[in-house]
């Protein structure tokens, strides 16, 4: 049972889940045998340069400076499996010595100046939701490490309804931005799966992608201007324009900068009218290939709905296994009747069928047009309408997936996601290759039972797709599952690159994938990045060390 009330699955019994997990992984998960987390594991003492602390105390109020151990620990990691495993069972290693909460651009600028003067390292912190070890501290760092938590800088500075722009501080959390804009009948339309926690500044720094990018664009399409506190002063412009050609645009460097070049303090973003209509939808397909061809047609021949996702059969089953205990006999009956129709009448095989989930947003006319397009094209690919409720559940599941992962870790199951983008024609082979390779490698190593390897298509472009993998396994008896996991993920990543996929569609590089950079770009490109870092932050004030830029 998932505790709390935030998620739909919270507080519900999931009677089918554990049996399904046992069956799929071919292991015997004992619900009474819990790998109890030791959180918090040992927390290193902070090492703070006294003269820096004095300077800081002149700049900020006492309630903006914190040295609490658990707080520092929380600021020293994101959400990779290794990080989660480390904070629960082993030890995180070097963590920030200090957490500060600036409340204005002037304070951020002052902080950067002070850090420079005292040779201290700053690591900007947004929602802490990254999955690239972007927040992990360098073990070798001897300077004081300051985590700069931006979340008190969360104001919407202005909204310009006529020109459809808003200026928002970088620490504003997605959920808050959504709620505030909605009050005014507006939306920014950027909804990564982390939207409940992640921040505007974090979105820019990781070059984030939103679930509804078909309608609103990805973060690089949404940001018109960005203000940054750098080691050399403020990077800013006098005004935000619809579109410009004003030479080298340094603001573009902030997308994917992962904390290495400065602290983003605010941005001007596009806004949109809150959609007249929002609707979920879903379509069942007999096979993944059918669903994939449907998506290809959708991307090529229509303006696709705000979001379109296709899960493979294993993930489809996973979703079914997570259905809560039903609320009555009638619901059960309906579900059985539906199942009979799909499998017996339509002839869909339970171990092959897949589901595509959809979000439609726009004016009533737009949504109606898109629904017509979707279901017309789906029927050409043997698709069968499966209703709004299944669509809604699919998206809800996304929000709770991180919790399910954490929950499973206590039952000796370690799991994680990783993603890529790839041209259409290479996508199916890429999925097959990665799945096969991981299964083979897993068996070759004599690891327990079978691994869980599942793929979904989470974004479509005219030129290709984003593929999202889930990989997990039963780790009881394995002393270092987090390391085994990483080895296998790296093997999968190599296969992704060989199969024509990118290093990442939206997660980014951080420290987790920095070793792969020479495999995707020329030596000159690597050197340019290094030279750029050296010249723009010569003393490495922004010492996050991502992408090898330390």
- Residues sharing a CB contact under 8 Å with residue 263, sequence separation 6 or more, in sequence order: 108, 111, 112, 122, 124, 148, 150, 170, 201, 228, 229, 542
Strand partners, 415: 472
DSSP per-residue string spanning 11-30: T---TTHHHHHHHHHTS---
Q: How many CB atoms lie within 10 A of CB 241?
A: 12
Closest to a copy of itself by CB, 165 or 359:
165
**Residue found under tokens 């909460």:** 101
Q: Is 331 in the site for a copy of itself (CB under 8 A)?
A: no
Which two tokens mark 316? 């489809």
Which residue among 110, 501, 543, 545 contacts a copy of itself (CB under 8 A)? 501
Of 198, 199, 260, 282, which lies in the binding site for a copy of itself, with binding defined by CB under 8 A?
260
Q: Given candidates 422, 431, 492, 541, which one binds a copy of itself under the rule CB under 8 A?
A: 422
Output 247 or 477, the one with its CB closest to a copy of itself: 247
Q: Which stretch binds a copy of itself (CB under 8 A): 30-38, 177-185, 351-359, 516-524?
A: 516-524
Of 33, 104, 241, 410, the one binding a copy of itself (CB under 8 A) is: 241
Q: Which is nearer to a copy of itself, 293 or 313 (CB)?
A: 293
Size, binding site for a copy of itself by CB under 8 A: 85
CB 217 to a copy of itself: min, Å: 10
Work out the burial of residue 345: count CB atoms within 10 Å of its CB; fewer than 13 is exposed, 13-18 middle, 19 or more buried.
exposed
Among the listed residues 236, 338, 494, 550, the single contact to a copy of itself using CB under 8 A:
236
* Window 440 to 469, contacts with a copy of itself (CB under 8 A): 459, 461-466
- Told to check if 364 binds a copy of itself by CB under 8 A, we report no
Residue ranges in 117-156 that form contacts with a copy of itself under rule CB under 8 A = none
Place of tokens 């690891």: 447
Under rule CB under 8 A, residue 423 binds a copy of itself: yes
Q: Could you report how far apart the first and last alpha carbons of the chain are, in Å?
A: 43
Sheet containing 413-423: order of strands: 384-385, 277-285, 354-362, 307-311, 452-460, 464-474, 413-423
Q: Which stretch binds a copy of itself (CB under 8 A): 258-266, 304-312, 352-360, 382-390?
A: 258-266
Binding to a copy of itself, residues 167-206 (CB under 8 A): 206
Q: Whole-angstrom Cα distance, residue 164 to residue 218?
A: 17
Which tokens hold the place of 30? 């004992």
Q: Judged by CB under 8 A, does residue 515 bind a copy of itself?
A: no
* Segment contacting a copy of itself by CB under 8 A, of 194-202, 331-339, 346-354, 527-535: 527-535
- 235 part of the interface to a copy of itself, by CB under 8 A: yes
By C-beta, is 502 or 539 nearer to a copy of itself?
A: 502
The whole-angstrom separation of Cα 442 and Cα 421 is: 24
Binding to a copy of itself by residue 428, rule CB under 8 A?
Answer: no
21 phi, psi to nearest 5 deg: -60, -45
- Residues with catalytic function: 468
Closest approach of a copy of itself to the CB of residue 66, in Å: 29
| E strands in 305-379 | 307-311, 354-362
User: Is the CB of 153 or the CB of 460 nearer to a copy of itself?
Assistant: 460
CA distance 320 to 338: 13
Closest to 415 in 3D by CA, of 453, 456, 466: 453
């Amino acid at each position: 049972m998932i505790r709390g009330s935030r998620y739909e699955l919270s507080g519900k019994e999931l009677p089918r889940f554990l049996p399904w997990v046992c069956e799929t992984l071919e292991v015997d998960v004992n619900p009474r045998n819990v790998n109890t987390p030791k959180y918090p594991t040992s927390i290193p003492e902070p090492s703070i340069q006294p003269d820096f602390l004095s300077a800081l105390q002149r700049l900020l109020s006492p309630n903006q400076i914190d040295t609490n151990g658990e707080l520092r620990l929380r600021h020293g990691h994101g959400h990779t499996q290794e990080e989660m495993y480390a904070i629960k069972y082993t030890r995180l290693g070097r963590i920030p010595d200090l957490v500060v909460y600036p409340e204005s651009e002037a304070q951020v600028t002052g902080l950067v100046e002070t850090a420079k003067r005292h040779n201290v390292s700053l690591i900007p912190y947004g929602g802490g939701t990254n999955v690239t070890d972007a927040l992990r501290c360098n073990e070798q760092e001897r300077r004081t490490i300051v985590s700069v938590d931006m979340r008190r800088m969360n104001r919407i500075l202005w909204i310009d309804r006529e020109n459809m722009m808003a200026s928002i501080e970088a620490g504003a959390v997605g959920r808050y931005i959504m709620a505030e804009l909605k009050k005014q009948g507006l939306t920014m339309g950027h909804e990564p799966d982390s939207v409940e926690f992640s921040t505007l500044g974090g979105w820019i720094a990781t070059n984030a992608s939103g679930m509804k990018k078909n309608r609103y664009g990805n973060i690089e399409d949404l940001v018109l201007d960005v203000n940054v506190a750098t080691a050399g002063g403020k990077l800013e412009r006098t005004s935000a324009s619809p579109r410009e050609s004003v030479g080298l645009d340094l603001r573009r460097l902030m997308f994917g900068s992962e904390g290495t070049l400065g602290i983003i303090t605010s941005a001007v973003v596009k806004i949109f009218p809150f959609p007249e209509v929002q609707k979920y939808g879903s379509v069942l397909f007999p096979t993944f290939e059918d669903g994939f061809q449907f998506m290809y047609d959708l991307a090529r021949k229509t303006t696709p709905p705000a979001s379109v996702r296709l899960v493979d059969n294993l993930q489809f089953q996973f979703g079914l296994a997570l259905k809560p205990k039903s609320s009555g006999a009638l619901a059960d009956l309906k579900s059985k009747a539906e199942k009979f129709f799909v499998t017996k009448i339509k002839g869909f095989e339970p171990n092959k069928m897949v589901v595509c989930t959809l979000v439609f947003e726009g004016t009533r006319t737009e949504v109606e047009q898109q629904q017509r397009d979707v279901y017309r094209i789906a029927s050409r690919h043997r698709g069968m309408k499966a209703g709004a409720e299944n669509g809604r559940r699919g998206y809800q599941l996304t929000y709770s997936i991180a919790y399910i992962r954490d929950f499973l870790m206590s039952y000796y199951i370690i799991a994680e996601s990783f993603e890529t983008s790839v041209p259409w024609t290479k996508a199916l082979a890429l999925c097959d290759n990665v799945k096969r390779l991981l299964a083979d490698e897993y068996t070759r190593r004599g690891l327990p039972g079978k691994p869980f390897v599942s793929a979904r298509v989470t974004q479509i472009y005219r030129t290709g797709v984003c593929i999202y993998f889930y990989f997990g396994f039963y780790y009881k008896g394995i002393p270092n599952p987090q390391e085994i996991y990483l080895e296998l993920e790296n093997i999968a990543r190599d296969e992704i690159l060989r199969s024509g996929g990118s290093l990442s569609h939206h997660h980014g590089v951080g420290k987790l994938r920095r070793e792969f950079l020479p495999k995707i770009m020329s030596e000159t490109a690597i050197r340019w990045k290094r030279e750029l870092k050296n010249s723009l932050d010569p003393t490495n004030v922004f010492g996050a060390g991502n992408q090898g830029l330390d």
